[in-house]
Amino acid sequence: MFDNMLVVSTAVSSFNNAALFGPFFMVVGLLSLPLFFMVYIYGNDFVSRFGWNRNNFDNQISFWSSLSLLLWLLLFGGNYAVIRDGISLLPLFLSVILFVLMIVVTQKSVQLHYIDKLRDKRWVLFMLFVLIAMVFFAGDNNYFNLLLQISAIVCGFAVGRNIKRNIQLMPWPVVVMGILMVLVLMQPEFFRFGQLGNLTPIHWFAIICAGVSAITAVTTKYVRPSGKIHQSAYIKIKWFLRILSLLAFILFVSTESVPVFIGMVLSIGLLEALSIYHSKDVYEDMSKQSLSALFMIVGITIICPILTAIGVLYMAAQPKKIQMADFLRLL
């Protein structure tokens, strides 16, 4: 009597319509605040008992954040029945993310000697088989997408085992989580995030905060202050970029367009890069703070509390705490 896909589509639409009035990720984030507060106070003392120290802290953050995102994508990101059309680029983007995450997880597990602690190397192959099985059972009958993601897992494992160069904490998290937030905006029903064209201000706020945190982490890491721009030219260019960013923000809220969102983030990045280049201060600590904020925002948005806790840990480990005045100076 009823078509299966019609029933699934109706159920998904009902879920999203209910979520529009009270986004589930916001509720989970609010209920998890006491847990995150405990992580902020006691987290560093807890992880130090497992070998986390100043020398390997960034590597530990890289490994566990990559592993949490990898498992989240495999456990919650394979339901292709909710893709709106058959030519969606979502499987391709997910495969790229899985490939990068698998490289980081494998390389850091070797660097942190997690693989060496396994006396029987067959355990490594067994874990790889489990990941492949998770990909297989997460998807549906679209065998091309399954083959694409299984290939990404296997190739990422092979590259990660043989790569010799140390993978730094920056900029891979920004790239991966930036792509992930764009996918959330492109396919909101895929991520149980909301319906396209009906996002609430809470959805906008989460996506914009993630985009601003990502671009701030990049600009404060790679742009160096020089103080060479003339003051009058600096003021004119800065006001031009401010107006451009404001117009892009208004257009994004009106259209919820992915290209507009990317343009808005880039315009904010140019504004911050101009401020840093004109300044004489160094913003290295702010890059780490922005990266930890990105972890927390993305973790709350996609309902991955482990990723949020990792961001809280990374923020608590910084010697200099967040100063909102420093962020406002960039704008």
**pLDDT tens, 273-285?**
888 887 776 666 7
Note the pLDDT tens digit of each residue in 290-329: 888 899 998 888 888 889 999 898 888 877 666 676 677 7
Average pLDDT, the chain: 77
Closest to 111 (Cα-Cα) out of 169, 154, 151: 169
Say if CB 271 and CB 331 are below 8 A apart: yes
What percent of the chain shows pLDDT beyond 90? 2
What percent of the chain shows pLDDT beyond 70? 76
Q: Which residues contact 69 (CB under 8 A, 6 or more apart)?
A: 97, 101, 176, 177, 180, 304, 307
CB atoms within 10 A of CB 22: 10
Q: Please give the average per-residue pLDDT across 187-192, as a whole number.
A: 64
Predicted structure pTM score: 0.82
Closest to 202 (Cα-Cα) out of 268, 297, 289: 297
Helix ranges (H only) for 112-142 are 122-138
Residue 75 has pLDDT above 60, yes or no: yes
Query: How far out from the chain centre does Cα 189 lie?
Result: 18
**pLDDT score, position 81:** 46
